[in-house]
Amino acid sequence: MIPKRLQFLVSPELPPAQLAPRFSDAGHQLFLVGGSVRDAFLERPVEDYDFATDARPDRVAEILGGWADAIYSVGATFGTIAARKDGRTVEVTTFRDEVYRDDSRKPRVTFSDRIEDDLARRDFTVNAIALPLMAMEPVDPFGGLADLAAKRLRTPVDPAVSFSDDPLRMLRLFRFQAVLGFDPDPVALGAVATMGDRLEIISAERIRDELSKLLLAPEPRIALEGVVESGLADHFVPELPTLAMEQDPHQRHKDVLAHTFAVVEQASPDLTLRLAALFHDIGKPDTRQFGPDGVSFHHHEVVGARMTRRRLQKLRYPKEMVEDVSQLVLLHLRPHTLKMGWTDSAVRRYVRDAGHLLGPLNELVRCDITTANQRRRLEITRGIDELELRIAELSELEELAALRAPIDGHQVMEYLGIQPGPAVGEIMEVLLERRIEDGPYPEDEAYRLVRQWALDKGISDPGQPPASEEEE
């Protein structure tokens, strides 16, 4: 009898029930494996279906040919054939054994005829359970079901062997800790502590993807602590461990690393926002100074923005995300710099500098409040509330989301009779600065500013400004 939690797998609308008889009729075994089996037993949503078979890739493609809407063989070298059916993607992989050579970022793959060999090469026992789709009796040679019940992360073989075969598994250990809420096995943690440098043969892209998944987990804090405490962070984000700075004798600044992890966990699970939370104080160790009034970190946001950009570029994050995260780090202190309230010009400048990041920036500033001092927390929160209220009020009076001068660069060039170049940019900056300081103003005032600028620069008098539409 099929357990209730697995009964959905025999639904004729789903790939497992559709593919099982096709492979059986072709004389091959087909198993559901990996995260799909794990999640089914945990009664978590199963979104992706991964299959393993004794059939070789070319044969897999033939069997899928009469079923799939499209077949993708780009992964055939590594034993994987992907297929698309009714908008859903499945992957079928030949039983395999793969090992990373000491100096290689790519695995050497050999195929096998036994499901047990395939399960032995999996990262953790909870992912090393196979479900034969005709018999529906789990194949569990490494005690994965018991580890699911115990919420434990163990490797199927000696962790030193497993992590040597694929060093990314060390980072994946913490990713699954964050995603599943399971505890890493102490033996596995010990192996990470001694083998961290092995991670350096893994491509930046694979490390980036694991870090992103960890950060997007519901509760990433404990896992991030493990990444640092194990020494693994030293090999892909070495700036992070430096945040564990010793406090000064008078305890005048808090544990920056603990604060950082608290900010990450308070932030919404948006990758740009959580990366900004992770790096927002990364410049503090390089800017820490002790003075008569205690410890200070002057301009740590400027230093931190540069450091953030360099690190995210090394991890191969997309250019747009690198720029957005760096900008959030640069601006995260801006709301704290105004102690006397928000003037119209200050609000306009803040909105202009934040641009499309206004919402994430305001949330980052709120998440940055981790003090246990309730009076201080309330004071900062009220300041942010006031800022958001002022933004809303000013937005009702003027087009705050699209701050621009009354005239554009083409109009400036036509009026002055000049070609594109730095002068146009300088003039436009003058016009925008006036818009920020004083609010909306008419075209004729903009032309007067341009004329005065030209006269101050010694450019011949351009004459009277063009008549505005109202004057015409």
pLDDT digits (tens, 9 = 90+) for 23-50: 999 999 999 999 999 999 998 988 888 9
Q: Read off the pLDDT of residues 80-110 as tens digits, 9 standing for 90 and up.
A: 999 999 888 899 999 987 655 555 656 677 8
Q: What confidence category does residue 467 fall into, taking pLDDT thresholds of 50, 70 and 90? A: low
pLDDT at 173 over 80: yes
Residue among 233, 155, 241 at smallest CA distance from 197: 233
Q: Residue 451's closest CA among 442, 439, 464, 440?
A: 464
* Any domain includes 462: no
Backbone dihedral region for residue 421 (phi beyond 0: left; psi -120 to 50: alpha; all else: beta): left
Q: Which of 186, 214, 236 is the last residue of a domain?
A: 236
Domain for residue 47, yes or no? yes
Same domain assignment for residues 185 and 223 = yes
Task: Indicate whether 347 belongs to any domain.
Answer: yes
Pair 220, 336 in one domain: no
Whether 465 maps to a domain, the answer reads no
pLDDT of 150 > 60? The answer is yes
Within-domain flag for 428: yes
- Please tell me the total count of domains within the chain: 4
Domain final position from 175, 202, 236: 236
The reply to whether 11 and 144 lie within a common domain is: yes
pLDDT band for position 294 (50/70/90)? low
Q: Which domain holds residue 24?
A: 1-149
Indicate whether 137 and 2 sit together in one domain.
yes
Give domain status of residue 266, yes or no.
yes
The CATH number linked to 93 is 3.30.460.10
Instruction: Check whether residue 2 and residue 132 sit in a common domain.
Output: yes
pLDDT (tens digit per residue) in 389-407: 888 878 877 777 677 888 8
pLDDT for 249 equals 42
* pLDDT tier, 460 (very low <50, low <70, confident <90, very high otherwise): low
Neighbour-count burial of 221, counting CB atoms closer than 10 A to its CB (0-12 exposed, 13-18 middle, 19+ buried)? middle
Q: Is 426 part of a structural domain of the chain?
A: yes
Please report, for the domain that includes residue 377, its CATH number.
1.10.3210
What is the reported pLDDT for 250? 40
Query: For 240-293, how does the pLDDT look when each residue is reduced to its tens digit (9 = 90+)?
Result: 999 986 454 444 445 889 999 999 999 999 999 999 999 999 999 877 777 666
Residue 104 in tokens: 């290689």
Assess whether 411 and 391 both reside in one domain. Answer: no
Question: Between 73 and 136, where is the model more confident?
Answer: 73
Of 318, 220, 222, the closest CA to residue 269 belongs to 220
Bridge pairing between strands 88-94 and 80-85: antiparallel
- Residue 467 resides in a domain: no
Same domain membership, residue 394 and residue 254: yes
Q: What does the pLDDT look like over 331-366, one tens digit per residue? A: 998 877 665 567 888 888 888 888 899 999 999 999
Q: What is the pLDDT of residues 5-19, one digit of tens each?
A: 787 887 888 899 999
CATH number at residue 168: 1.10.110.30
Report the pLDDT value the prediction gives residue 278, as an integer from 0 to 100.
97
DSSP strands (E only) in 294-446: 294-296
Domain's final residue, options 122, 149, 176: 149
Separation CA 163–CA 184 (nearest Å): 14
Are 79 and 214 part of one and the same domain? no
Q: Are residues 294 and 255 in the same domain?
A: yes
Q: Residues 409-423: pLDDT tens digits?
A: 888 888 888 888 888
Interval 214-248: pLDDT, tens: 999 999 999 999 999 999 999 999 999 999 864 54
Predicted local distance difference test score (pLDDT) of residue 340: 56
308 and 414, same domain (yes or no)? no
User: Do 430 and 357 share a structural domain?
Assistant: no
Q: pLDDT category, 295, cuts 50, 70, 90?
A: low
Closest CA to 328 of 363, 287, 298: 363
State how far the Cα of 162 lies from the Cα of 178, in Å rounded to an integer. Answer: 20
Place 371 in a pLDDT band, splitting at 50, 70 and 90: confident
CB 96 within 8 A of CB 75: no
> 210 and 138 share a domain?
no
